[in-house]
Structure 1
Amino acid sequence: MLASAGLVLALGPTATVAQTLPPVTTADRTIGRADAPITVVEYASFACPHCADWHRFVYPLLKTRWIDTGKVRLVFRNLPTPPAEASFPAAGIARCAEPSRFFDAATALFHGQDRALATGQVQPWFDAAVAQSGRTEAQMDACLANEATLTAINRDITAANAMGVDPTPTLFVNGRQVTDRSLGAGNPVPQPAASGLTRTPCSSNVCV
């Protein structure tokens, strides 16, 4: 998995090219029916503990009640936060998973995040995600070294920067940014004020 380290160095500054939420395309990583009446777009970092909270506590409710019943499609987009040596390789590993296994790899990353960041032992964390990715190690290394992987992650970052998205997780429901990151405890209806997850979100500069 040495190729994963290259992601930190290969991703440079991004340019502002868009001012609105980009439409969902086949390049996105999604779960749920494409014709679902509600689309939730999540900008998140695999090194952000608040994103891990969201995926441990909110995502299972959202999936059971709304995604699995055909009412919601969830779209994941990368917005890496410090430490870069953890968030960028993790983003690459998830991106390189088979598209149908993306959320399996993402779940492994979010569930193992606390231990990996607390101990600094990130390789077992990466390996656990690869095991859920549907790829062999050779396939994963080849994908991580592929410029297209870097381009896809940079595309997410560029769009987020253009919209002024900074805290993670940031959520959009049918194109509208919402402040309630708990989504009403799994009910994806925009709320007027933050509730549910009360920890201060991560930013591009700090995640505490």
Structure 2
Amino acid sequence: MKKIAVLAGIALFVTACSEAEEASVENSEVQPEVKAMATSAAPDAPASAAQQSDMTYGDIVYGSPDAPVEIIEYASLTCVHCGTFANTIFPTIKEKYIDTGKVRFIYRHMEGNRVGLAASTVARCGNDEETKALVKALFAKQSQWLQSQNPLDGMASVLLRYGVSRTKFDRCLSNTEMHKEIVEQSRHGTDAYNVTAIPTLIVNGAKADDYRLEPLSKMIEDAL
């Protein structure tokens, strides 16, 4: 699992995202200043009406609200282990448990670097179903855009295939209200569940020890 440090300052992230080394912060501990992030993270200028209408706010939710088991995942789009979960484990969980009404699955952001913040922001560049498709695409093409010379350009290239023009991409990227929301989700993961590594999965309020398919499936079955 990837150790995380939540970003303390976001205002400079757009200019810094061209530095590819920011994309992989593997070994830092969560910093105490996380509790002040939500109020200090972004400029005071509110998001424009166009920015607001372009984007999806709140949790990314799969499955029925009446499902007996609720799983909350805290993850980062720059986390390789999170990509492994998204690409190889989540599809089975979705088919076996979510689509059959047994599990309600909630995805929340836990970002620890500026590139991750950028990725999570532009992944929200659409309605609910479009956002799910963009998150899936960014995880599927993670190595491609994350290792590119300019990760922002790499993200834009991936999302262009899903109908996100560069103009829309840049507009979404500059949405400071979304920056604050992502920071708040990250802070909540630390405060509510003591998330220190990702991916972290919370099954009916209990933290899973292992995100691999077999132990996670057992935990779900035990909760049913």
Give 1:168's match in structure 2, choosing from 198, 203, 210: 198
Q: CA deviation at 1:4?
A: 7.8
Structure 2 CA distance, aligned partners of 1:7 and 1:155? 21
Structure 1 CA distance, aligned partners of 2:80 and 2:104? 23
- TM-aligned CA distance change 1:185 to 1:178, over 3 Å: closer
Structure 1 CA distance, aligned partners of 2:110 and 2:114? 14
- TM-aligned CA distance change 1:188 to 1:30, over 3 Å: farther
- Counterparts of 1:2-41 in structure 2, within 5 Å, are 5=14, 13-15=33-35, 27-41=58-72
Q: Which moved more, 1:135-144 or 1:53-62?
A: 135-144
Give 1:129's match in structure 2, choosing from 148, 159, 162: 159
Q: Do structure 1's residue 59 and structure 2's residue 90 form an aligned pair?
A: yes
Q: CA deviation at 1:185?
A: 6.5
**Off by >4 Å, runs of 4+ in structure 1:** 134-137
Structure 2 CA distance, aligned partners of 1:4 and 1:127? 19
What TM-score does the superposition give when structure 1 sets the normalisation length? 0.71
When Rg is computed on C-alpha atoms for both structures, the one with the higher figure is: 2
* Contact 1:97/1:140, CA 8 A, preserved across alignment: no
What TM-score does the superposition give when structure 2 sets the normalisation length? 0.67
Aligned-residue identity in percent: 26
Superposed CA deviations along residues 102-144 of structure 1, whole A, max 9, x for unmatched, are: 2211111111112333343421333313543x65544443333
Q: Do structure 1's residue 159 and structure 2's residue 159 form an aligned pair?
A: no
Q: Which amino acid aligns with 1:165?
A: V
- TM-aligned CA distance change 1:130 to 1:73, over 3 Å: farther
Aligned residue in 2 for 1:45: 76
- In structure 1, the gaps of 5 or more residues are 18-25, 192-208
RMSD: 3.0
Aligned residue in 1 for 2:121: 92
* Contact 2:73/2:201, CA 8 A, preserved across alignment: yes
Q: How many residues align?
A: 175
Aligned residue in 1 for 2:44: none
Aligned residue in 1 for 2:108: 77
* Contact 1:46/1:90, CA 8 A, preserved across alignment: yes
Structure 2 CA distance, aligned partners of 1:136 and 1:49? 26
- TM-aligned CA distance change 1:172 to 1:16, over 3 Å: farther
* Contact 1:96/1:149, CA 8 A, preserved across alignment: no
Q: Do structure 1's residue 106 and structure 2's residue 135 form an aligned pair?
A: yes
* Contact 1:32/1:72, CA 8 A, preserved across alignment: yes
Structure 1 CA distance, aligned partners of 2:168 and 2:144? 26
